């Protein structure tokens, strides 16, 4: 074989080798490289947040949950929700502790006025887990932020409403969710300070509903039996107005009482539309849940999160409920 021919064959062989190497790399990559189908999901769930509610299944807390879960889907944050089936402070605190132990990235919960709550907030902080309060605040606990109603001011609003729409001496019965919950205490205090300053309103007594409708009905019944001269009733948690309406119905010959409640759950709005109750303080639970989760996202990005973010609170009267025809939260 001539020298030229040998070189020529070698060049062809060399080019062939190169081509087959290139083909192996190209097709091999195509065959074995797997696009991470769940890349979006992985991103979505890089952050895990626990929402610890006062009561699971309570329609008001369901709205906070709805806002939190929706915001979580948008911000790529996985929101787990927990809460006792019946409001129970100790269970709430135990759940919070479990969540800290289970290394969640943040906790959203109701501020609880209890030394154990403060200890847990500190414990969470030491692990780098921010606690954001919604619905009820305990600023001195060290929680990172609060999103919710200014509960004292909401009580003031309710008091002003009573003063504006009643005349002469009024005897008031209060139905409150709980004696222990901070927001309930603040709503009573704001109301009390406002109405008592008028000199024509006396608060006769307070009954407790345990944030349930039946509890509110029973508390109303007892209040009206024991204090028959009551002329107005004020309910401070979401299911109280509905219970108050039922309690009044149970009392034969109960006069036309002025009733003011809290929140705009469908049943309460219906009572407003029918004129069974006179007014309600409107809160924004969906927004509380949403905003709390967006704040977790902001904290993750090292962005500023204001310590206090009050959501709007206004009075809804019968006529407004009828006009707006329902409640967007
Ligand atoms: C309060 C919540 C409470 C709920 C009960 C709301 O008005 O803000 O703290 O859990 O009522 O139904």
The reply to whether domains 35-149+285-311 and 151-282 share a CATH topology is yes
Please name the residue that has the structure tokens 């977790």: 296
> Confidence band (pLDDT; 50, 70, 90) for 38?
very low
Arithmetic mean of pLDDT, 63-83 = 97
217 vs 19, which has greater pLDDT?
217
Kindly list the strands in the beta sheet with 106-110, ordered across the sheet, starting from the edge strand earlier in the chain: 77-82, 47-52, 106-110, 131-134, 145-148, 308-310
Ligand 1 atom with the shortest distance to the CA of 148:
8
pLDDT at 21: 57
Q: How many CB atoms lie within 10 A of CB 293?
A: 27
Arithmetic mean of pLDDT, 308-313 = 98
Closest CA to 260 of 244, 246, 247, 273: 244
Cβ pair 41, 73 in contact under 8 A: no
- Ligand 1 mean position to 189 CA, how many Å? 16
Instruction: Delimit the domains of the chain by residue range.
Output: 3-32, 35-149+285-311, 151-282
- Ligand 1 mean position to 1 CA, how many Å? 98
Query: Per-residue pLDDT tens for 185-206?
Result: 999 999 999 999 999 999 999 9
> Confidence band (pLDDT; 50, 70, 90) for 104?
very high
- Is 35's pLDDT higher than 90? no
Q: Is 58 in the pocket of ligand 1 (CB under 6 A)?
A: yes
Arithmetic mean of pLDDT, 124-147 = 98
Question: What end-to-end distance do the CA atoms of the chain give, in Å?
Answer: 91
21 vs 198, which has greater pLDDT?
198
pLDDT > 70: percent of the chain? 83
Distance CA 73, CA 294 (A): 11
Q: Is 238 in the pocket of ligand 1 (CB under 6 A)?
A: yes
* Mean predicted lDDT score pLDDT of the chain: 90
Distance CA 6, CA 12 (A): 10
pLDDT at 319: 67
33 vs 297, which has greater pLDDT?
297
- Ligand 1 mean position to 44 CA, how many Å? 30
- The CA–CA distances, whole Å, from 148 to 64, 77, 285, 307 equal 10, 21, 8, 11
Q: What contacts 315, CB < 8 A, 6 or more positions away?
A: 157, 158, 161, 279, 280, 281, 282
Kindly list the strands in the beta sheet with 232-235, ordered across the sheet, starting from the edge strand earlier in the chain: 201-208, 170-176, 232-235, 258-262, 279-282, 314-317
User: Three-class SS string for the chain?
Assistant: CCHHHHHHHHHHHHHHHHHHHHHHHHHHHHHHCCCCCCHHHHHHCCEEEEEECCCCCCHHHHHHHHHHHHHHHHHCEEEEEECCCCCCHHHHHHHHHHHHHCCCCEEEEECCCCHHHHHHHHHHHHCCCCEEEECCCCHHHCCCEEEECCHHHHHHHHHHHHHHHCCCCEEEEEEECCCCCHHHHHHHHHHHHHHHCCCCEEEEEEEECCCCHHHHHHHHHHHHHHCCCCCEEEECCCCHHHHHHHHHHHCCCCCCCEEEEECCCHHHHHHHHHCCCCEEEECCHHHHHHHHHHHHHHHHCCCCCCCEEECCCEEEEHHHHHHHCCCCC
Arithmetic mean of pLDDT, 77-84 = 97
Lowest mean pLDDT, pick from 8-17, 40-49, 167-176: 8-17
pLDDT at 31: 37
Domain 151-282 classification at class level: alpha beta
pLDDT at 253: 82
Arithmetic mean of pLDDT, 144-156 = 98
Q: Which of 177, 209, 242, 285 to mutate for ligand 1's pocket (most ligand atoms within 8 Å of CB)?
A: 177
Ligand 1 atom with the shortest distance to the CA of 54:
10
Domain 35-149+285-311 belongs in CATH node 3.40.50.2300: yes
pLDDT > 90: percent of the chain? 81
Q: Is 212 in the pocket of ligand 1 (CB under 6 A)?
A: no
- Is 78's pLDDT higher than 80? yes
- Is 324's pLDDT higher than 90? no
pLDDT at 309: 98
Query: Per-residue pLDDT tens for 235-265?
Result: 999 999 999 999 999 998 888 999 999 999 9
- Is 43's pLDDT higher than 70? no
> Confidence band (pLDDT; 50, 70, 90) for 16?
low
* Predicted model pTM: 0.85
pLDDT at 322: 58
Please name the residue that has the structure tokens 């009267």: 317
């Amino acid at each position: 074989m001539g020298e030229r021919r040998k070189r020529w064959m070698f060049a062809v062989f060399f080019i062939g080798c190169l081509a087959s190497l290139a083909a192996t790399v190209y097709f091999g990559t195509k065959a074995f490289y797997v696009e991470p189908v769940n890349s979006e999901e992985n991103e979505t769930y890089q952050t895990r947040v626990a929402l610890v509610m006062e009561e699971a299944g309570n329609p008001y807390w369901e709205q906070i949950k709805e806002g939190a879960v929706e915001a979580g889907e948008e911000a790529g944050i996985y929101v787990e929700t927990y809460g006792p089936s019946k409001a129970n402070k100790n269970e709430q605190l135990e759940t919070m502790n479990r969540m800290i132990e289970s290394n969640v990235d943040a906790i959203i919960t109701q501020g609880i006025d209890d030394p154990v709550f403060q200890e847990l907030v500190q414990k969470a902080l030491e692990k780098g887990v921010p606690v954001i309060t919604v619905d009820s605040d305990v600023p001195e606990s060290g929680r990172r932020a609060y999103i919710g109603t200014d509960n004292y001011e909401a009580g003031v609003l309710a008091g002003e409403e009573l003063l504006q729409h009643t005349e002469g001496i009024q005897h008031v019965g209060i139905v409150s969710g709980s004696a222990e919950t901070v927001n309930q205490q603040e709503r009573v205090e704001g109301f009390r300070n406002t109405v008592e300053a008028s000199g024509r309103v006396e608060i006769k007594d307070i009954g407790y509903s345990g944030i349930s409708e039946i509890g509110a009905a029973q508390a109303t019944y007892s209040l009206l039996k024991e204090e028959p001269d009551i002329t107005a009733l004020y309910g401070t948690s979401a299911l109280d107005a509905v219970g108050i309406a039922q309690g009044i119905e149970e009392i034969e010959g109960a006069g036309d009482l002025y009733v003011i409640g809290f929140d705009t759950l469908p049943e309460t709005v219906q009572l407003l539309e029918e004129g069974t109750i006179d007014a309600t303080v409107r809160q924004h639970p969906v927004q509380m849940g949403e905003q709390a989760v967006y704040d977790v996202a902001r904290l993750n990005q090292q962005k500023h999160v204001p310590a206090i973010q009050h959501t709007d609170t206004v009075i809804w009267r019968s006529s407004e409920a009828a006009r707006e025809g329902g409640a967007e939260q």
